[in-house]
Amino acid sequence: MDQNKIRNIAIIAHVDHGKTTLVDQILKQCGTFHEGEEVNERVMDSGAIERERGITILSKNASVNYKGYHINIVDTPGHADFGGQVERVLGTVDGVLLVVDAFEGPMAQTRFVTQKALQLGLTPIVVINKIDRDGCNPHSALDKVFDLFCELDANESQLDFSCVYASGRKGICRKEIDDPDGDLRILMDLVIDKIPAPKGDPNAAPLLQISTLEYSSFLGRMAVGRVQQGTFKTGMTVAQSFMTDNDSDTPKVKNIRIQKILHYDGIQSSPIDEAGPGEIIQIAGLETFDIGDTLSATDKPVSLPRIHIDPPTISMLFTVNTSPLAGKDGGKFLTGNNLAERLERAHMADPALLVEKADGASTFKVSGRGILHLTILVENMRRELYEFTIGSPQVIFQKDEAGKLLEPMETFKVEVPSEYSGPIIEELGRRKGEMVDMQTDENNRVNLEYKIPSRGLLGVRAKLLSLSKGYAISQSLFLGFEPYKGDIPARTNGVLIAKEPGAAASYALAKLEDRGALFIPPATEVYPGMIIGEHNRTTDIIVNATKGKHLTNMRSKASDDNIQLTPYRRMTLEECVTFINDDECVEVTPLALRLRKITLDPHKRKQESKSPVEEDED
């Protein structure tokens, strides 16, 4: 392929600013799909969880052939927890399409991904998206983008960025906001003109660094990367430079034979005989590999510096399920070896996830960039029929040279109607948040900006939605490590703990409603030590949820059937994880999520606990 006819771009933006929808329209308008072919909405979001939640989790590649040019497009996640995916793939492209919502303007994650792109010297093209949205202000959004570039020390050529106005949903694009509607070929012409062709000598020794991986049911795991120089051919032997656990400083080298080379053709892959500089390819034939490994010539092996990824901030303990109901919910993989093998695969696929062996049998400490980062892994594992328990999330601390404790801090922004701002300011203050800025706009909405410890953000979004009747819009961005800010109060309420094994009875649950909010419906299987609700008071209380009504000769069928229960609180995985305290865990099975105490025996629990535990006498 002619090197000058290749363009490599990544699409970056804050979550929900329309990246994936824009890619859909680019693929359609550039003739990637046949006429009449049925195409799913958000075709790049191929994972089940991505489609359900409407977010991009994994970076994915596609390509379009337009006016004789082969344009590789990398769709990236917009959520801060998956920033590791963005950091990896930016090294494979020469420019970025920065998508900004015309209504919201640049947001927290916009700043993060833009900073990474500008530091690498990539050429930006700004797309002001969603210009069809009511109340949007494209000119204001563009001004804010320019201010952001100035803050991030963009160079002169980056500050002289090109800009288009678009609606990804409608597939329209304009050079100027007052121009008549055109299609997205206006944007693709700009990509050809402004994004530089890839550099690299095709006659030099072959060189490629693995930036991500993909899986094929026919070819297995495939390495994905950009050819930096030289030519890779099917059947050729190259040197693979990789790191081992035993010696973290010196890379090892082994020779491998390339079985197959594929490049992106639309959203599919097609085999090719050879690939030159600038091409983003998939390589089959590597038995084992990790992201960051280098492929080079066998006579002069090269080891490129490992891809830098920001350190994780949150960790959780993964352990084998020890509950009385273990193995009864359709789980197929239950042992410590199953858990270890799956977590190791997760680390190989995503270097931002760190896995370490922890104290205790079959216990692993998994560290990631945030709660969502870790819970997506948990959700994928339960869908693959794994069964295990996870502990409460713990913030990862560091120490400075003087031995002083440092903790991760985040910038946290909240937008809320002014009448709800008081309780939210009080709540964030309780969580050691330090207010940086407060502004009220013309719509009487208050914009709050805080600097707050990552510990203070655990479970904060659900709390803010409750305090604001669902109106709070929040976003956060990792800031860095600062001195420890002191204790932050944990959950103030105790829990209702099941006393007897069996099925929960409506009669018993009706009696418990005055004690607190229930997490389970009638007929749910419970066991001693399982958490079935949140207590109204600060102490834990042991209750009998299986007790039925005593039978007598006096019957009143109507009154027996008319037990009206308040709808129970159905907890999502994220809510479960942020609800539990250090002495509690979440039992994860393919069919259910259960909250429980780590120590199920009430007597042992009483010995371990400093606070008293009541027992319900009813």
Instruction: Please report, for the domain that includes residue 242, its CATH number.
Output: 2.40.30.10
Answer for the pair 317, 364: CB distance below 8 angstroms, yes or no: yes
Burial state string for 242-251 with b = 16 or more CB within 10 A and e = fewer than 16: bbeeeeeeeb
Q: What would the two tokens of residue 190 be?
A: 């700009």
pTM over 0.85: no
Percent of the chain exceeding pLDDT 90 equals 22
| HEC string for 53-103 | HCCCCCCEEEEEEECCEEEEEEECCCCHHHHHHHHHHHHHCCEEEEEEECC
pLDDT band at 551 (very low <50, low <70, confident <90, very high): low
Residue 144 shares a structural domain with residue 239: no
Which residue did the predictor score with more confidence, 244 or 507? Answer: 507
Give me the chain's average pLDDT, please.
84
In a domain, 339, yes or no: yes
CA distance 549 to 559: 12
On whether both 167 and 54 belong to a single domain, the answer is: yes
Q: Where are the beta strands (DSSP E) in 159-258?
A: 162-167, 172-174, 182-183, 207-216, 220-229, 232-233, 237-242, 252-257
Instruction: Judge if 139 and 277 occupy the same domain.
Output: no
Q: Would you say residue 489 lies in a domain?
A: no
- Per-residue b or e along 266-284, where b marks 16 or more CB atoms closer than 10 Å to that residue's CB: bbebeebeebbbbbbbbbb
Kindly state whether residue 309 falls inside one of the protein's structural domains. Answer: no
CA distance 443 to 314: 36
Q: Are residues 147 and 42 in the same domain?
A: yes
Mark which of 431, 456, 483 sits at the end of a domain: 483
Residue 8 lies in a domain: yes
Instruction: Indicate whether 46 and 178 sit together in one domain.
Output: yes
Please determine, for residue 588, whether its predicted confidence score (pLDDT) is greater than 90: yes
The pLDDT assigned to 50 comes to: 65
Same domain, residue pair 21 and 100: yes
Last residue of a domain, one of 194, 229, 254: 194
The full DSSP string for 505-539 is PHHHHHHHTTTEEE---TT-EE-TTEEEEEESSSS
pLDDT value at residue 556: 56
pLDDT tens-digit map of 411-443: 888 888 889 889 999 989 988 999 998 988 877
Residue 92 lies in domain:
3-194
CATH number at residue 552: 2.40.50.250
Is the predicted pLDDT of residue 554 greater than 70, yes or no? no
pLDDT at 298 over 70: yes
Residues 145 and 16 reside in one and the same domain: yes
**CATH number for position 460:** 3.30.70.240
Q: Residue 408 and residue 388: Cα distance in Å, rounded? A: 28
Among candidate residues 237, 242, 250, the one with its CA nearest the CA of residue 206: 237
Q: For residue 477, what are the contacts with CB-CB under 8 A and spacing of at least 6?
A: 80, 108, 109, 111, 112, 410, 411
Q: Which of 575, 570, 550 is nearest to 560 (CA)?
A: 550
Number of domains, the chain: 5
Cα 29 to Cα 589: distance, rounded to the nearest angstrom = 43
Same domain, 183 and 115: yes
At 615 the pLDDT is 62
H helix runs in 303-390, sequence order: 336-349, 371-383
The answer to whether residues 184 and 235 belong to one domain is: no
Please report the pLDDT score of residue 313 as a whole number: 85
Asked whether residue 99 is domain-assigned, the answer is yes
Whether 175 and 61 share a structural domain: yes
User: Can you tell me the mean pLDDT for 213-242?
Assistant: 85
- For residue 86, the domain's CATH number is 3.40.50.300
Q: Is residue 305 part of a domain?
A: no
CATH number at residue 338: 3.30.70.870
Cα–Cα dist 536/8, whole Å: 57
Residue 303 lies in a domain: no
The mean pLDDT value for 2-13 works out to 88
Both 145 and 232 in one domain: the answer is: no
Q: What is the pLDDT of residues 254-275, one digit of tens each?
A: 888 998 998 888 778 888 998 9
Domain limit, last residue, from 296, 328, 343: 296
Return the pLDDT at 466: 84
Please choose, from the candidates 476, 542, 549, 480, the residue with its C-alpha nearest in 3D space to the C-alpha of residue 510. 549
Can you name the residues that pair with 615 across neighbouring β-strands? Answer: 542
> Under a CB-based contact definition with an 8 Å cutoff, are residues 17 and 29 in contact?
no
Query: Which residues are 99's β-sheet partners?
Result: 13, 127
Could you tell me which residue, 52 or 158, shows the higher pLDDT? 158
- Looking at the structure, do residues 258 and 339 belong to the same domain, yes or no? no
Rounded to whole angstroms, the Cα distance separating 93 from 10 reads 6
Residue 302 is assigned to a structural domain of this protein: no
